[in-house]
Chain A
Amino acid sequence: MKDNFRQSMKWFHTWVGLVVGWVLFFMFLTGSLGYFYQEITRWMEPERPFIAHEVSTEKLLDTAQIYLNKHAKGVDEWDIMLPNARDQNLRVGWRHLVDSGKQGSRYKITVLDALTGEAVASRATGGGKLLYRMHYRLHYLSTSISYWVVGFCSMLMLLAVITGVVIHKKIFTDFFTFRAKKGLLGWLDIHNVLSVIALPFHFMITYSGLLFFLFTYMVLSTNLQINDEEFDEMLNEIYPGSTHLDSARQPSDMLKVSSLYQQVKNSWHADELSYVEMFAADDINAHARFVRHETDITYNPDDEVTINAITGEVIAVKINKYTGAGIIHNGFFSLHEGHFAGPIARWIYFFTGLIGTAMIASGLILWTTKRKPKQMKKANGPDFGYRLVEQLNIGTIVGLPIAIASYFYANRLLPLDMANRINWEANIMFISWAVLLIYPAFRTAKQAWSEQLLFAALLYFMLPIVNAFTTDKHLLNSLHHQDWNLAGFDLTLLVVSSCFAFAAYKMTSPQLSNKTSAQRNKQVSKRVNNKIVIEKRDHPSVQVTNDSLLPLPQANKEKC
């Protein structure tokens, strides 16, 4: 299309990244938050008690079972979720019948106070789960439309990742080239560093994201080859779910879950129970499955022990065999979701996700930075397209984080007895995003950037304070109780706030402007014959070698 393959791919990379860049930014940011969705939900339900230290697993199991015997009588299947590093409250869950008039049932989780054994009545909130669901389910759109939109965007992301590698003949040299504070080249280097530093992650997350809906997207291929029955059989082969006995409708007395747990404890080394699933409760077929925390990306049969709840005997479970392709498929799922990740790995996941988000943001900013000099010379001002991209950039890159902050504000400030409270939390998030998308139209780009950055810094800084005024789960209390999940959330907000404040300061400080004299007499590195040379100079000019990604005249124009 262009002169050669790499030039074509460069063009392709630019446009593939641009057309859905803002949706991808949304998906990456909400997806990254998803790695902490349980922690976010916990913060958004401040009625939950603080962490209860040193309550034995047996005691917790008893507490939960007493509650279940009282409130879930006659329910065949229920679960007990033990406090863990991610969610430090005791929870029980079972399928509740939907209100009269409607068919079916809905799985609901109830949080219990580990000390009193009473249910905690939390405010109605979408929690972290709603936020995390948005990254593949979007919001407002119907499920099937969302999946196709997300699939289309992910496919373009995959293309952007692959073409990004193709156009970088010297991907590793570029990685170590960093020209700070230098407008276009600075942004290009930032984009390169962010892309290369987490390249395997970017590829994995995009490709596995597509795999999640493989059978939806590639429905034609399966339909041409197999019928519906065979398709179900194939799914069973790919995701071999474990089977369990159903209730025989013959009531029988069960042993206590805590006494069943004694046997499990023997086969496991430590107290590492994650949750218990009870099947056919209070029936002669009753059996409990004890599951411990996942520790690696492949399925480990030792992670589960099934026990007959009447006799207390361990039931040998047929181990599910994965096919070779099934291992790859499910391995990608594990890598994408990161359920196996401990606290440190989880933070790494979170930061890598943010690196992906920042990579998309820097690519979008790069698009405008590159076109700015030419656009500014136009007699009637910049083109509509340029202004649109700039406005969407400001409204999304800073606007979305602000919108997410307003989601948290809505959680704290909306009346507790409000009808449709869950919906309104999300509505407020999207209304604020819409406002921030429109706002840059009335300001110059620079004003809009710095004002929104400052606003974001202020909002994130105020959030822990508002939290302190509206709940008793504020930073001082959570630190005092050593509830690190709660404290971590507030502390992270403060860190995010200072990042935005720093960005706002950078935006307003004169160094960033290319035309000010402040930039003169600064140490600048430049590339000469592919080596990085640091030199002192008093007139900004840039030498770009031929294999740079930028066209030479444009790079010089930007600088001079």
Chain B
Amino acid sequence: MSYLVNKLNACSPYWSMFSRVLAAITGGYVLATANSIFISQLLLSSVGKYQAIHIGLMLTFITYACVAMWVFSVSTATKVWLGLIKLTVLVAVATWLLMKLNGMSS
């Protein structure tokens, strides 16, 4: 897979740029959403469900902005995608663990 991505990257700088833009828009959106749910789960017990969701939501634009900036600072587009996938999985697992924890305490 990574061989294929590399192969395509080598073809043209336009493809690499397109790949980055796509990563920033979609990857950024997914990661921002995942992060908002993570924050909601983190705050759930202390501020109540709705406020936790609300705080998570309000921070999405900041997360989104940080991700987009990071996408355009990494050296290659392949690293960008791999990094995004790693981070999303990390946040998703952390959120899942928190959900389990919150489920046990309630």
Partner of B60, one of A1, A11, A12, A221: A221
Q: A159, B69: Cβ atoms under 8 Å? A: yes
A158: chain B residues at CB < 8 Å are: 61, 65
Within 8 A of B (CB), among A200-250: 207, 210-211, 214-215, 217-218, 220-222, 224-226, 230, 233-234, 237-238
B29: chain A residues at CB < 8 Å are: 220
B58: chain A residues at CB < 8 Å are: 211, 214, 325, 328-329
**Known interface pairs A218-B36, A218-B60. Does A233 touch B50 (Cβ–Cβ under 8 Å)?**
yes
Partner of B37, one of A211, A214, A221, A328: A221
B54: chain A residues at CB < 8 Å are: 234, 238, 323, 325-326, 329
Mostly, the B contact residues are helix
Minimal beta-carbon separation of B52 from chain A (angstroms): 9
**Known interface pairs A1-B74, A11-B72, A162-B65. Does A325 touch B55 (Cβ–Cβ under 8 Å)?**
yes
**Known interface pairs A12-B69, A162-B65, A324-B47. Does A225 touch B55 (Cβ–Cβ under 8 Å)?**
no
Closest residue to A4 on the B side, CB-wise? B73
Partner of B51, one of A5, A211, A215, A237: A237
Minimal beta-carbon separation of B85 from chain A (angstroms): 18
B65: chain A residues at CB < 8 Å are: 155, 158-159, 162
Minimal beta-carbon separation of B101 from chain A (angstroms): 16
Check: B84 CB closer than 8 A to any chain A CB.
no
**Quick one: CB contact mask for B9-40 with A, threshold 8 Å, 1 for yes?**
00000000000100000000100110011001
**Known interface pairs A8-B72, A225-B40. Does A214 touch B51 (Cβ–Cβ under 8 Å)?**
no
A448 to B40: give the CA distance in the assembly, Å.
54
Q: B69, A218: Cβ atoms under 8 Å? A: no
Partner of A8, one of B47, B64, B73: B73
Check: B53 CB closer than 8 A to any chain A CB.
yes
A217 to B25: give the CA distance in the assembly, Å.
13
Minimal beta-carbon separation of B74 from chain A (angstroms): 7
B64: chain A residues at CB < 8 Å are: 155
A220: chain B residues at CB < 8 Å are: 29, 33
Q: B53, A1: Cβ atoms under 8 Å? A: no
**Known interface pairs A162-B69, A211-B58. Does A222 touch B53 (Cβ–Cβ under 8 Å)?**
yes
A541 to B72: give the CA distance in the assembly, Å.
34
Check: B106 CB closer than 8 A to any chain A CB.
no
Partner of B72, one of A1, A224, A234: A1
B32: chain A residues at CB < 8 Å are: 218
Minimal beta-carbon separation of A61 from chain B (angstroms): 40
Minimal beta-carbon separation of B100 from chain A (angstroms): 16
Closest residue to B28 on the A side, CB-wise? A155
Closest residue to A238 on the B side, CB-wise? B54
Q: B57, A218: Cβ atoms under 8 Å? A: yes
Closest residue to A328 on the B side, CB-wise? B58
Within 8 A of B (CB), among A10-55: 11-12
Minimal beta-carbon separation of B96 from chain A (angstroms): 13
**Quick one: CB contact mask for A441-484 with B, threshold 8 Å, 1 for yes?**
00000000000000000000000000000000000000000000
Check: B42 CB closer than 8 A to any chain A CB.
no
Q: B55, A12: Cβ atoms under 8 Å? A: no
16 more CB-based (< 8 A) A-B contacts, given A159-B69, A221-B33, A221-B57: A1-B72, A11-B72, A158-B65, A163-B69, A214-B57, A217-B60, A222-B53, A224-B37, A225-B40, A230-B50, A233-B50, A234-B54, A237-B51, A325-B51, A325-B54, A326-B54
**Interface of B toward A, CB cutoff 8 Å:** 20, 29, 32-33, 36-37, 40, 47-51, 53-58, 60-61, 64-65, 68-69, 72-75
**Interface of A toward B, CB cutoff 8 Å:** 1, 5, 8-9, 11-12, 155, 158-159, 162-163, 166, 207, 210-211, 214-215, 217-218, 220-222, 224-226, 230, 233-234, 237-238, 323-326, 328-329
Q: Would you mind naming 24 contact pairs between A and B with Cβ atoms under 8 Å apart?
A: A1-B72, A5-B73, A11-B72, A12-B69, A155-B64, A163-B69, A211-B61, A214-B58, A215-B57, A217-B60, A218-B36, A221-B36, A221-B57, A224-B37, A226-B49, A226-B53, A233-B50, A234-B50, A237-B50, A238-B50, A238-B54, A325-B55, A328-B58, A329-B54
